[in-house]
Structure 1
């Protein structure tokens, strides 16, 4: 009897822990609507070139990911910077950790890939957990013109954060094709959802938000690539920022720079890399090369420090970026989580992360 009761309690606990999973998986895009994209064929989106999106058994194992690697976490608490005073002019970028950032141009703001949850997983109780707290509350954000999402992986599209932003802001959600199905599943109103294909733009509050190419994949369950992935150009007036999203290096960056640059700043994915998935996640050197192809500006590395998603040491991405940038004489800013960067006066890189590596 006791064993049976314990079993029932265990099953109840599992059911409770997984209660949000069906909603987390999001919605199913309408294939008819997706078919307007030349990248959509046979029910799925495709990169311009076919690339490997799943590591083979010889190059990577789940055991390595779960138990391998050294120094994958910071040795002590990551320093955080609290909210700064409002600004009404200039170009400022606040990095919150991983790929979440606020872009402010002359007092108007766009939020990219906001993830405020403790874990990046369909469950709030299992999966990769934060290595540092969120530096600001969502209530600390200024009024938002738009929330821009690069793709639907859990470390970039966070249901809980979306739920809060729908209640607390009037921002429109500007997303690649197919992600609207997830947002509708989460009760985001239709009039606050804009879905774009690559090379399409949307204007709001003086911003022009342009969906551009990336080399990656998508999926919140075993079904892959039924939604599109993207990089973004966020422009307002004479100022512009490029955000890479998740991507492998591909030869299209020069064309993006020629069409939409020059960029004042570039938010570039540099972490969570491995030779087994280099086609879909750039190494630090790949990121610097892509930054150079785009035409430069100020490089702000993202997609590192916050979640343990690869085998490399915690501080290695930025050490490698800094070394490469110094060798090439490029402009670099490495803010602490929560720190706002004045793009016109970013200050010197001080190596703050090295004491934690």
Structure 2
């Protein structure tokens, strides 16, 4: 009960901290998806009925939503930590949606969350079952941070503040950059973009592109900040980062404008039939990769936090089977490993930590949903 009271208190503070009504109505006048003081998806998004949500929780009983023990991470390559940033595209997965991207001699970190919990509290909320592959003191020099939206598992205040003086630029969707400035990040280090807007980082072009999701960190700030996917275009190679999103028609336009992509980082986890329009099932994740004209797919947003009602390893199993069936090139690094677009698939490393059939577990989850 005490935790609930504290959580409600934090939400109340967020409710007081953000403008509402007429004060917020014109904050982003002219933005593509801003009206009546909030951002909106292109397509309407359904919310599962409360009864369906409770039913899903009951059906998930017995599913192992966390591994039996904390998962170890692979040692990050010394050349990633100590050498100059790679000219060729390579990505080191640090866990969840945090990835260290190297391209054209620059380093970009996506959605950095290095705290133990995806929560406003240090003592409550979803706790990592995979440690960060790198601690703050181990991170190499960074050229930029790219943020997809403001949910706690993607925007971690303590991590951002620790990076405040170490990162020259923070790139964020509309409103998310304002949060950073409110937290004390120097305004000149923050760049906010609307969908389809571009900016330059050395030889790289960064473009904020559409996603279908939602935002907010409290009771009063729902959809007051924008959510986005991101395109990173280098001299010879291109990467797409989906952020959190449901399936939407905009993937095809992203592919037409910016594809083909050498590597895609696609959300694949934290899904459920009761929130079908804001998170993708693995089948949709694969389709999104194909729609943006991706060549190699790297699933992210799984294997770190318990945020849904499926087995912790189900996303990895389902996307691996789907990729094999549809002839999609896939990479599935363990946290800490570095991959390139031409890296081999590798063994299903997560199976080492489970004794029962993960495929049976995945099928059971689908039957119960």
TM-score, normalized by the shorter chain, greater than 0.5: yes
Structure 1 gap ranges (5+)? 1-9
8 A Cα contact 2:213 2:246, kept in partner? yes
Distance 1:297 1:47, change over 3 A: same
Aligned with 1:347: secondary structure? coil
8 A Cα contact 1:23 1:186, kept in partner? no
| Equivalent residue, structure 1, for 2:41 | 47
| Equivalent residue, structure 1, for 2:100 | 102
**Equivalent runs, 1:1-357 vs 2, <5 Å:** 22=13, 28=19, 31-52=25-46, 54-61=47-54, 64=57, 68=61, 70-84=63-77, 85=79, 86=83, 87-167=85-165, 169-223=166-220, 224-344=222-342, 346-357=343-354
Pairwise CA distance, 1:188 = 0.4
8 A Cα contact 1:108 1:143, kept in partner? no
8 A Cα contact 1:25 1:220, kept in partner? no
Distance 2:299 2:264 in 1: 8
Aligned with 1:60: secondary structure? helix
8 A Cα contact 1:249 1:286, kept in partner? yes
8 A Cα contact 1:23 1:185, kept in partner? no
What is the RMSD computed on CA atoms of the aligned residues? Answer: 2.6
8 A Cα contact 2:232 2:240, kept in partner? yes
| Equivalent residue, structure 2, for 1:7 | none
Aligned with 1:264: secondary structure? strand
Structure 2 gap ranges (5+)? 355-369
8 A Cα contact 2:206 2:232, kept in partner? yes
Ranges of 4+ aligned residues in structure 1 off by more than 4 Å: 18-31
| Worse-matched range after superposition: 106-115 or 68-77 | 68-77
Pairwise CA distance, 1:227 = 0.5
Distance 2:270 2:55 in 1: 15
Distance 1:49 1:67, change over 3 A: closer
Pairwise CA distance, 1:63 = 8.8
Distance 1:66 1:217, change over 3 A: farther
Pairwise CA distance, 1:76 = 3.2
| Equivalent residue, structure 2, for 1:4 | none
Aligned with 1:275: secondary structure? coil
Taking structure 2 as the reference length, the TM-score comes to 0.87
Pairwise CA distance, 1:106 = 3.0
Query: Can you list the C-alpha shifts for 1:112-150, whole angstroms capped at 9, x where unaligned?
Result: 100001111111111000011111112322222211100
Distance 1:122 1:355, change over 3 A: same
Pairwise CA distance, 1:24 = 11
Distance 1:311 1:69 in 2: 10
Pairwise CA distance, 1:171 = 2.4
Taking structure 1 as the reference length, the TM-score comes to 0.89
Aligned with 1:181: secondary structure? helix
Query: Can you list the C-alpha shifts for 1:211-234, whole angstroms capped at 9, x where unaligned?
Result: 000000000012310110000001
